[in-house]
Chains A and B, each alone.
Chain A
Amino acid sequence: MGALVIVIPLALFFVLGLVATLIFGWVIPALGGDPNAWYGALIKTAFILLGFVLPLASVLTWMERKQSALMQDRIGPNRASVGGVRAFGLMHFVADALKMLFKEDFVPAKANKFLFGLAPVLAIAPVLITFAIIPWGGGVCPGRLSETLTDETLATCLETGARFQVVHLEVGLLFYFAIASLAVYGTTLAGWASYNKFSLLGGLRASSQMMSYEVTMGMAILGAFLVYGSLEPATIVMAQGSNPLHWGIVTQPLGFILFFVAAIAETKRTPFDLPEGEPELIGYFVEYSGMRFGMFFLAEFMEVIFTAAVVATVFFGGWQLPGLHAGGFLGTAMPHWLVASLGFVVFAFKTFVLCWFQLMIRWTLPRFRPDQLMRLGWKQLLPLSIANILITAAVVLALMPTGGK
């Protein structure tokens, strides 16, 4: 079973990457369309969300149970079966989905019906939107799928070719911060509209926590902006190159730790799950049932994936792999379609591993106390992130060929 955990995701990611390469490099251009036009963006959105994020979020619910079980010397859920096929408990998320869809959709009598219904949407929508800026591959050069390209020809071709990114925004990660900060409305409104003191407390905790850690998150990633000179994720990935020594994790180790901690705090999962601390409050979604609760739940897992995707992009070289270049892998020549598909595999696998690592942290560490949380956020992470910016800025300035002039 051990090796399957690595082989099966790799195989699935490769199939997905191949599908994307063929759609954007062959089908759309063959039909005379432009992969970067609005309908291309629509297909890209459908691909990244329906093909990658939502399935992975579902699998993460299974992974979380299985992984925590293995960490605690248990077996984990394995009873759900469809026609006798248990598949290591994979059927449990199907059962979960069915349960949530068919459960009673309960609204408390004194709740604000409109806001109560709006809150889950506000929680899940920002996460879905932010995936627009994530580059999930280097892009594909239409019409030249079977050729072996060089880095230069690929770069020129990609000026007009199909980018593996829904929108190519120069403000990139700023867009992410702007949209992600909207998610706090979902949780706060959920707490307020439920007309329940416990959910209100949970919502308040969520809002204070998310506002505090957003500051650190923005500050922590500034160092990477300085080093790579761009806010645009795809440009940052290109700037990192395929040499791991130039990746964000090496050039910005402190920035990586600070960003990762703050991003985990943003996902509101243990050790930062005060808004939903089960023994105290249960959380801002106490009153939610059925699929409305499921939306909060799903939003949480998609935030985990998004955090992993951003960290993979900014700190782990995105779709780049040492030895993988436009012409093939190391000395082996590869056709363009294979290289483009492998780019997705590399990105998806990095995301997958970082999701795994987040689950690892979630099941290892105990919960903070509210005062510890605020102390960590404002008195430790924030000063460190400011120091990180100053030091990075000084080093970048000193290393500039023009001497900063």
Chain B
Amino acid sequence: MAIGVKVVARPSGIAQDMYVSAVVKGLGVTMRHFFENLFGKKHIVTVQYPEERAVYPKRYRGLHRLMTRDDGSVRCVACMCCPTACPAHCITIVAEETGNGAEKRPAIFEIDELRCVVCGLCVEACPCDAIRMDTGIHAPPVEHRGDAVLGKLDLLAHTGKSEAHQGGLGGEWRGAPPVRTG
């Protein structure tokens, strides 16, 4: 037996056949927009790109950055949480001893920005706030694929481009006014 097909009645009748009411309604909409945009209130949504930039939302996820401690050393402890959480397997970490016997640190920390799906799970996974995606930078066009693989120093260099509020805005971030720091 064939699958059930529900036949929907098509609207018919003289008014439908003559297209008149639909044409008048459509012209009404387009004319309203035309005249309002020409003479009065503007609805225009165009952003004239090189001169104007769209304002990104506060929580826009751009390129990653690695955070530093107050003494300038990298905050990452090479715990492997972010490469584990990463669904795109774009993070490579090779750990090394710090020498003070307490912690590890990354000898190599690479993110392949071409593989990154910008999901932000690495940021969620990080137990010590070492990785963030708050730079607001687009992935830049590259000539060779290798150029899109950012190393530890590249990621550390993104520090300072952030607009993030150190320590966050807490639970009130939705209502808080935009804060520009960094």
Q: Decide if A5 touches B37 in the complex (CB within 8 Å).
A: no
Q: Can you identify 12 A-B contacts, CB atoms within 8 angstroms?
A: A2-B40, A70-B33, A70-B37, A71-B30, A73-B33, A73-B45, A74-B44, A360-B27, A360-B30, A360-B31, A361-B27, A363-B30
A70-B33, A74-B46, A75-B46 known; A1 vs B38 contact (CB < 8 Å): yes
Nearest B residue to A384 via CB reads B18
6 smallest CB-CB distances across A and B, nearest first, come from: A2-B39, A70-B37, A75-B46, A73-B43, A364-B30, A71-B30
Binary contact readout B11-24 vs A (1 if CB under 8 angstroms, 0 otherwise)? 00000011100010
| CA of A1 to CA of B35, assembled, Å | 12
Residue A330 is within 8 A (CB to CB) of chain B in the complex:
no
A181 at the interface (CB under 8 A from B): no
Q: For the complex, is B160 an interface residue (Cβ under 8 Å from A)?
A: no
The smallest beta-carbon distance between B12 and chain A, in angstroms, is 12
User: How big is chain A's contact interface, by range?
Assistant: 10 to 19
Is A67's CB within 8 Å of the partner chain B?
yes
Q: Which residues on A are within 8 Å of B, measured CB to CB?
A: 1-2, 5, 67, 70-75, 360-361, 363-365, 376, 380
User: Separation in Å of the A16 CB from the closest CB of chain B?
Assistant: 24
Q: Which residue on chain A has the smallest CB distance to residue B45?
A: A73
Chain B residues contacting A365 (CB-CB under 8 Å) are 23, 26
Is B60 among interface residues, defined by CB-CB distance under 8 A? no
B8 to chain A, nearest CB (A): 18
Return the contact of A380 from the options B17, B23, B27, B29 (Cβ within 8 A). Answer: B17
CB distance from B50 to the nearest CB of A (A): 10
User: What's the Cα separation between A365 and B29 when bound, in Å?
Assistant: 11
Contacts of A360 in B (CB 8 A): 27, 30-31, 34
Count of residues in B whose CB is under 8 Å from the partner chain: 20
> Is B48 located at the chain interface by the 8 A CB criterion?
yes
Interface string of B24-64 (1 = CB under 8 A from A): 00110111011001111001111010000000000000000
For residue B148, give the distance in angstroms from its CB to the closest CB of chain A: 31
B33–chain A nearest beta-carbon distance, Å: 5
A72 touches B39 (CB 8 A): no
Q: How far is the CA of A2 from the CA of B26 in the complex (A)?
A: 23
A71 proximity list for chain B (CB < 8 A): 30, 33-34, 37
Contacts of A361 in B (CB 8 A): 23, 27
- Closest chain B CB from A32 CB (angstroms): 49
How long is the Cα–Cα vector from A364 to B30 in the complex, in angstroms? 6
Q: A2-B39, A2-B40, A70-B38 are in contact. List 8 more A-B contacts (CB 8 A).
A: A2-B38, A5-B38, A71-B33, A71-B34, A73-B43, A75-B46, A360-B30, A360-B31
A178 to B45, CA, bound (A): 47
* Chain A residues with CB below 8 A from B18, complex form: 380
B37→A73 contact, CB < 8 A: yes
User: Most chain-B Cβ atoms within 10 A of its Cβ — which of A67, A75, A376?
Assistant: A75
Q: Contact at A74–B45, with CB atoms within 8 Å?
A: yes
Residue of A nearest to B38 (CB): A2
The residues of A that contact B34 with a CB separation of less than 8 Å are: 67, 70-71, 360
What is the minimal beta-carbon distance from B180 to any residue of chain A, in angstroms? Answer: 29
Contacts of B46 in A (CB 8 A): 73-75
Measured between beta carbons, the chain B residues less than 8 angstroms from A70 are 33-34, 37-38, 44
